[in-house]
Structure 1
């Protein structure tokens, strides 16, 4: 609640002090959104403000700290987990392998694709533009310094970023929540964690010990 109030106040101030009409329209639109949409946009804008990276603001990631987990282990686990969440593993695409990479250069990348065809059809019936999100993807990324991640789209805005002008049917909303849960839990567990808080703490510990200057997760109580 406090964050929402701060965000709304900041939006109003920006609307009248930055770029006139455009910001005014943005501020009015924001304050008219449901609270879930306000939270979603506030989270994205906070990430964007901190990192300057719009791609990062729309994604979730899980750092793999268990050195015993191989790339193939991780993909085998994701394939196995898909059925547990009523998803299908529908394909994978090895992107590239680079020899002798620089520490901050991506040396390996591989995409896994997931789908629930029944839910996908209902999402397309609601809005064909959801097709741009399909199939759901998780990408494995490895850097030259040994850091390894699983990255997937943050579906929060896909669910809560709209308005009452085009409401999502409650039954479809429940289906989409299940998809979002799957696309968070599958990479979480494949990366070696049971709970998100464990993944967040592991990332903070790893970044602190290695002196990595990147955005740290916020531990939610």
Structure 2
């Protein structure tokens, strides 16, 4: 019994090591997947991060998308004692009725909710907007004929919100 337990433990250890090794070998592919899953836009010249946030909030409101979260992360980091923290804020937008339909169809969609848009500054003070590559997600899943236009609508609205932020368009 003891020998069998040792053999089992050894086999499990080898499986974990092999899996870990496979993940290490494929790290570049995994990084590419992450890079493809996120889109980023540089703010236009003269557009501040606050202009971008204000523009996105206004555009979302005009498009009937609710801002359901506002996470001022750089303010939180400063409150914890850090100094000279680059701007970092995450806004979350949602159409709750569409979100409900998507989650009823497949619970996996709850992991994508709500739609997040980050406004950040890099080390040089350049403002950027990032969000999930919604085209990639839409092409990776099979949606019902009823849900596909709803998902495309969400994508279009989120990208329109981002465009308003990039240009500072009120």
Indicate whether the TM-score tops 0.5. yes
Aligned-partner Cα distance in 2 for 1:147–1:183: 22
Q: Does 1:129 align with 2:108?
A: yes
Aligned-partner Cα distance in 1 for 2:155–2:35: 17
Q: Does 1:118 align with 2:93?
A: no
| 1:158 Cα offset (Å) | 2.5
State TM-score, norm by structure 2.
0.71
- Quick check: 2:66–2:93 contact (8 Å CA) kept in 1? yes
Gaps of 5+ in 1: 1-47, 102-106, 195-221
Aligned-partner Cα distance in 2 for 1:135–1:126: 16
| 1:72 Cα offset (Å) | 2.2
Matches within 5 A, 1:100-115: 100=84, 107-115=86-94
* Coordinate RMSD, CA, aligned: 2.3
Name the residue aligned to 1:148. 127
| 1:157 Cα offset (Å) | 3.0
| 1:77 Cα offset (Å) | 1.1
Aligned-partner Cα distance in 2 for 1:138–1:152: 5
Q: Which structure shows the bigger proportion of residues in helix conformation?
A: 2
Matches within 5 A, 1:1-221: 52-67=31-46, 69-96=47-74, 99-100=83-84, 107-162=86-141, 167-192=142-167
Instruction: Provide the secondary structure at the position in 2 that maps to 1:139.
Output: strand
Gaps of 5+ in 2: 1-27
Q: How many residues align?
A: 136
- Quick check: 1:100–1:144 contact (8 Å CA) kept in 2? no
Higher RCO (CA 8 Å, separation ≥ 6 residues)? 2
